[in-house]
Structures are given as C-alpha cells and as structure tokens.
Structure 1
Amino acid sequence: MNLATRIEQQPAWILHRRPYRETSALLELFTYEHGRLGAVARGVKNRGWSALIEPFVPLRVSWGGRSELKSINDLEQAGRSYRLSGVALACGFYMAELIMALTRREDPHPRTWQAYGIALDGIMDQRREPLLRCFEVALLEECGYGLAVHEDVHGAQIQRSASYLYYPQRGPVPVAAAAAQGHSRAGDVAVMVGGATLLALAEGDKDYLGQDPGRLESRQLLRAVIDKHLNGKRLHSREMFRGVASRRGLSG
C-alpha cells in the first residue's frame, strides 16, 4: 500500500514499541482491517500518549502516510487495558512475538486479531492454554499454514478414538499405517496425537483442550508445527516463560 492513505479510528493493539529520537516512539501495530503495520508516534509526552502506547491496551488509531512506516495522527484507548504478570505476561509477549514472526505487513488477519483479544481476556486464569491453542490455530490458518485436523494424509476422516503420528511437513498418519507403510523419512519429526485432540482443535473445544490428554497433546503438536514455520528463529518469550515457570514449578 504505497499510495497516500489516511485511516481513521482503526481498532489496534501495540505489539512492540521502542524510543525514537527524543520525544517519539516507533510502534509495531496489529490492526483489525490492515494487519500488522510499522508506525511512528511523534511528540508522545506532549500529546498524553505515554500511558497508551503500551502492549495489551486496546486502541483506536488514526494514521496516514505513503511509506511503509506510517505516521500516527491520533489514538485513544478503546477498552480496559490488561495488566499481565508472571506466566500471563510471558504468554502475552509470546502471542505478540509470534504475530511479528509469521505475518507480513499490511496483510489482514481478522480471525487472529479476534483470537488475540479473546486470549488476553482469559490468560490470567487457568483458561490460558486452550485460549493460546485457539490463537495459534487461527494464526497458522490465516498465514496459509493451517493444520490438517479433518482428514489424515490418505484423505480419510479423522477418527476420534484413533491415534496418529502428526508430521508437520505432511499431516496426520494413523499409527498403524505409519508402522506398516514406513512413513518416516530422514529428518522427519512426528508428534503422537489422538484423534479426539485433532477434532477438538478443529472445533475449538476449549474444555477438551484444557485438560489432559488434549492439553498436552495440542501443546506439543502446535509447538512442532510452529517451530517448522519459524525456520530456526528463536522466540525470546519462550525463554521468559521457562524462567517464570521454573520458579513456579510449571511446565511449558
């Protein structure tokens, strides 16, 4: 989008910010209709924006500009902010970092945008794992990396009572078929997952994904698939989570 534009009152979240010159800030925005954007907010202190340009504050943002780096004209808070701490804070940073790692600028991801807001609303309590899984599924799908959760690699419907080896490069293979037909290839990494977990991911069944075996299986599966698409890129939020979790005796 290189033509001059002026966008008004667009719902947005700030994924990242850093200081720019003496009174300004460079922002990475995630907007509902325009996807991820780079923008500069000038005169932050004089305009009373210091407390607003933070992660986890819902905003309405107006901007303009021809270049890839937009210029913020106005912004206002659009709802209550989320004061995250501990594991929830690490989860919030994880979602923001994942959006920045997998999406392209100015490529709308409305389903991911909604899942991000829903997850922020619930990650302070024990619902956080299924909310994170639903967010990850939405992001992967809108980036063109959607999970195969309806059919196995042979085109057969996923069976709730069956067990599968899920290959991130190809999809789910019934365990019996994988052993009989030698599906493993050099460099392949497969995750064992139940058909019930795959269907829960397809249906967004947070109850099933919030308890074992669905909780553990879905976490391991999404981790493997996401790692494939990160192509070796490290997520600092994972290190942050491990530090917090180790102090609390959690697993992640």
Structure 2
Amino acid sequence: MQTQLWPGYILHSRPLAEDKLILQLLLPQLGRLSAVVRKRQGKTRLALQPFQLLMLQLSGRTELKTVKSIDEAGPAPLYSGKVLYSGLYINELVCRLWPDNLAAEQLFMLYQHSLQQLLQVQHGQLELEPCLRQFEFALLAELGQPIDWQYDANGDGIVAARQYQWQHEQGFVPVNSGIAGQLLLDIGQQHWQHSATRQVAKQLSRQILAPLLGAKPLASRALFSSS
C-alpha cells in the first residue's frame, strides 16, 4: 500500500489537530475508509475539495490510514446552490450507508456518473430530482437491497391500474388505496416527465432509506430547507 497510487474522492473531512485532518475517502478497490492527512505538503498548503478526483498514496496497517501523498487528478466541478447541497447529500449517504473497507468498484463508477450528472444539472442540461433518485436507488442495489419495480411482493407483475404500498423487506404489496402501479412502472423505466412520478419516487426513497439511516437526521438535508 505504501507505493500504490489510488484514485479517490474526499467524502468528508474534520479537524484532528492544528495541522491535520481526518478524511473520509472513497476508493474503488478499498471502498470507504478513514485517513489522516497533514494540511501542508512541505511549504504547500493543500486545497482539499470534495468532488475532485485525487491520486492518493496511503500507508498504515490499521483501519485509520495515513495519506503520504495527494495530488489532483482532475479539476473540481463547480457546483452552487441546490446542486452543491445535492453533492454533499450524496457524500453523506455514502458515509452513512457504505460499510467501512468494503470494495466499491461499482459504487465508485456510480458516484463519478452522479457527479457528471450534477454538473449537467448546474449547466441546465438535466433536472436535479431524477439524478438524485437514480443515485439513491442504485446505491440501495449496491447495498444488496434492489427495488423491484416490475413485480410485487407476491411475484405478480405490477399492474398499471392497481394500487400498491411499500412494505419493508417485502416489496410492493397490492392495496385498495396507495401508489398507482403506473407510477412505479414509470420510475422503474426512468420516465420522469410527470411531477407525480418524481414526487412518489422521492417519497419512496425517503421511506426505504429511513431504516438504514436510523434516527440521526442527515445534515445535508438541512441545507435545502435553509436555502
């Protein structure tokens, strides 16, 4: 590990001492891990930014690694407003939900794709809500909890004209009053044209993520309400 250069992103940072930080990093082969970095390399003060691809050299045999070198591998995307808050939200989800030191090759590619989508949102080329929902549902699949948008909990095909309710650890259950099957099919096919589809997808993502996140609120969500 001492000589290997790893691509990675900073998900979160917090002070450790006057001249050190503890970073939460996402690397494809090593997954999410914690590492200590000095704020300066020689006479140069590091500009450590989230969302920027970095090349890192790590050392250490314990779970807390040490960053021996860190270099920029690409420009940091310039997000602002709700797009910036959304990037921080994605980072927080990964920090809260992805297990320590679990390889994350697919998650790493998903994360990079989401950053590119957010840049397109910033430039007015995509809508924000579908990008967030796609990341949330794909993250659930990577965590081993994929959502079946085509079949209900009984193994029967979702019927557009029927109503359904999400049941934890079961899936969608037919009910007399609930979510229209057509909306579930639209989410599964990523048809985001209608506001009702986007609204239901948001409600479902919060409902499904809630047991995984626990009682502690997401700090990034507070940014949206204060903006």
Q: Indicate the TM-score class for this superposition, using the shorter chain for normalisation.
A: 0.7 to 0.9
Aligned residue in 1 for 2:171: 171
Indicate whether 1:95 and 2:90 are aligned: yes
Match of 1:122 among 117, 121, 129: 117
Is 1:25–1:44's contact at 8 Å kept on the other side of the alignment?
Answer: no
- Residue 140 in 1 paired to residue 123 in 2? no
Can you give the 5+ residue segments of structure 1 that lack an aligned partner in the other structure? 180-191, 245-252
Query: Identity percentage over the alignment?
Result: 31
Whether the 8 Å contact between 2:49 and 2:76 is mirrored in structure 1 is no
Q: Distance in 1 between matches of 2:60 and 2:160?
A: 51
1:233 is aligned to 2:210:
no
The whole-number CA distance in structure 1 between the counterparts of 2:164 and 2:43 is 56
C-alpha distance 165-77 of structure 1, shift in aligned 2 (>3 A): same
Cα deviations by residue, 1:195-220 (Å, 9 ceiling, x for unpaired): 344344444x2xx1354222111111
Structure 2: gaps spanning 5 or more residues: none
Instruction: Show the counterpart of 2:44.
Output: 48
Aligned residues: 222
Equivalents in 2 of 1:233, 1:145: separation in Å?
A: 21
User: Is the partner of 1:145 in helix, strand or coil?
Assistant: coil
What is the TM-score with the length of structure 1 in the denominator? 0.79
Partner in structure 2 of residue 182 of structure 1: none
CA distance in 1, matches of 2:54, 2:144: 27
Matched, 1:155 2:150: no
Tell me the amino acid that sits aligned with residue 58 of structure 2.
W
CA separation of 1:242/1:12 partners in 2, compared to 1, >3 Å: closer, same or farther? same
Matching of residue 243 in structure 1 with residue 223 in structure 2:
no
| Residue 20 of structure 1, aligned match among 7, 10, 16 | 16
Give the RMSD, CA atoms, in angstroms.
Answer: 2.2
Instruction: State the secondary structure of the residue aligned to 1:76.
Output: strand
Cα separation, 1, equivalents of 2:151 and 2:143: 20
What amino acid is aligned across from residue 211 of structure 2 in structure 1? Answer: K
Q: Equivalent residue for 1:193?
A: 179
Distance 1:64 1:38 in 2: 12
Corresponding residue for 2:29? 33
